[in-house]
Amino acid sequence: MNLPRWQLYTIFSVTSVFLLVALIVSRWQISVTVEQTQPPVSSVSLSNLDPLDPLTSASVTSNPARARINPPATQVKTPPRALRLSNQTDYPVRIAFLPKQVGARKQQSGVVKQSLYGEPGHWDFAPQEGATSGLVLSLPTKGIVQLERGDVLIAFAQDGSGRYWGPYIVGETPLPVWNRQKSEWQLILQP
């Protein structure tokens, strides 16, 4: 069978390109790895919770390190006053965080000298994300969030349903709840 010259060139060109791409990809040694998530944490006993435990230091840690998901063999101790959130709803939700500014004061005239609140942050959660053990929240530039009395949290559904939870004022509203045993704040969003 005799093929026209242009078909031979086309077949040769396509085969050459395919072999060249295969050679380049094999040199990159591409591999895919999957990290395991942290093991579930045992459920919280209500006797260990104290919503009004006193707090003493800054709103957000200045640690620039980001929180990491570690294999089940190692557990990282979260810093005191960390926020563990659990979305037990069937809604995709956004959690908004507004830290109270340390040192914010009113002048005698009632005019605020500086902003009462620091830089806000937010996180998005899928339905049922962190439902069993919760997830410790962190910010890219600040590290693990450490709550202080007066910090504000609010959650709202992102599906257009208009559903929301909060606002929660740390140490002033019943939620989030202080877990004295783990020295962390816990917020569980329920349907």
Q: Which domain holds residue 11?
A: 1-30
Q: Mean of the per-residue pLDDT values for the chain?
A: 74
Verdict on whether the full-model pTM lies above 0.85: no
**pLDDT given at position 142:** 82
- 99 and 157 housed in the same domain: yes
- 14 and 103 housed in the same domain: no
- 95 and 178 housed in the same domain: yes
Of 67-76, 104-113, 121-130, 145-154, least confident by mean pLDDT is 67-76
Cβ neighbors of 172 (< 8 A, separation 6 or more) are 149, 150
Per cent of the chain over pLDDT 70 is: 61
How is the chain classified by DSSP, letter by letter?
A: -PPPHHHHHHHHHHHHHHHHHHHHHHHHT-----PPPPPPPPPPPGGGB-TT----S-SB----PPP----TT--PPPPTTEEEEEE-SSS-EEEEEEPBPTT--B-TTS-BSS-SB---EEEEE-TTTTTTT-EE-EETTTEEBB--TT-EEEEEESSSS--EEEEEETTTSS-SEEETTTTEEEEEE--
pLDDT of 90 > 60? The answer is yes
Residue at 82 is within a domain: yes
**pLDDT given at position 103:** 60
- 120 and 167 housed in the same domain: yes
State pLDDT tens for residues 128-140.
Answer: 999 888 999 988 8
Residue at 152 is within a domain: yes
End-to-end CA distance of the chain: 72
Cβ pair 106, 115 in contact under 8 A: no
pLDDT tier at 67, thresholds 50, 70, 90: very low
pLDDT tier at 9, thresholds 50, 70, 90: confident
- 110 and 167 housed in the same domain: yes
Residue at 44 is within a domain: no
- 69 and 119 housed in the same domain: yes
Q: What is the mean pLDDT of residues 83-112?
A: 79
CA–CA distance, 157 with 155 (Å, rounded to integer): 7
- 18 and 104 housed in the same domain: no
Could you give the number of structural domains in the chain? 2
- 21 and 71 housed in the same domain: no
- 179 and 137 housed in the same domain: yes
Residue at 71 is within a domain: yes
Residue at 38 is within a domain: no
- 143 and 65 housed in the same domain: yes
- 89 and 13 housed in the same domain: no
- 73 and 148 housed in the same domain: yes
**pLDDT given at position 60:** 32
pLDDT of 84 > 80? The answer is yes
**pLDDT given at position 14:** 79
Q: Which residue has the higher pLDDT, 141 or 45?
A: 141
